[in-house]
Structure 1
């Protein structure tokens, strides 16, 4: 199993909580804490992509 995902050059971790039955992760290699989650792989990827896009938008606006 691959424990990382990539989008637009950003790498995110992938973990699974048995207690909550949910996938979650955070964007690696940046100072900001950006997390995402999903009940399945598609939801996790969608939330990761949205989190990266939001981060890039905020960075561009500053």
Structure 2
């Protein structure tokens, strides 16, 4: 199971690199690639939140609308006799 954290409606992964000995992650559900890292869980959380805040600031400065995260829902329509 992959752990995620949330901030301002965005979700981000919590991953660990054995090679680099660091925590890292990326924001889920948008086309833009937003990544963050930290040496501790608190640093990772702080950098995740700073990344989201910086994304909103960048969008504002470039007169762009921030992407809204998509929701992963699956709708299945079944016939009544099933």
Q: TM-score, normalised by structure 1?
A: 0.90
Distance in 2 (CA, whole Å) between partners of 1:22 and 1:13 is: 13
Query: Secondary structure of 1:20's partner?
Result: coil
Higher share in helix: 1
Higher share in strand: 1
Q: Which residue of 1 aligns with 2:71?
A: none
Structure of higher CA gyration radius: 2
Please state how far the C-alpha of 1:60 moved relative to its aligned partner: 2.4
Q: TM-score, normalised by structure 2?
A: 0.70
Runs of 4+ that moved beyond 3 A = none
Backbone CA RMSD of aligned residues: 1.4
Could you tell me which runs of 5 or more consecutive residues in structure 1 were left unpaired when the two chains were aligned.
none
Q: Report how many residues are paired.
A: 62
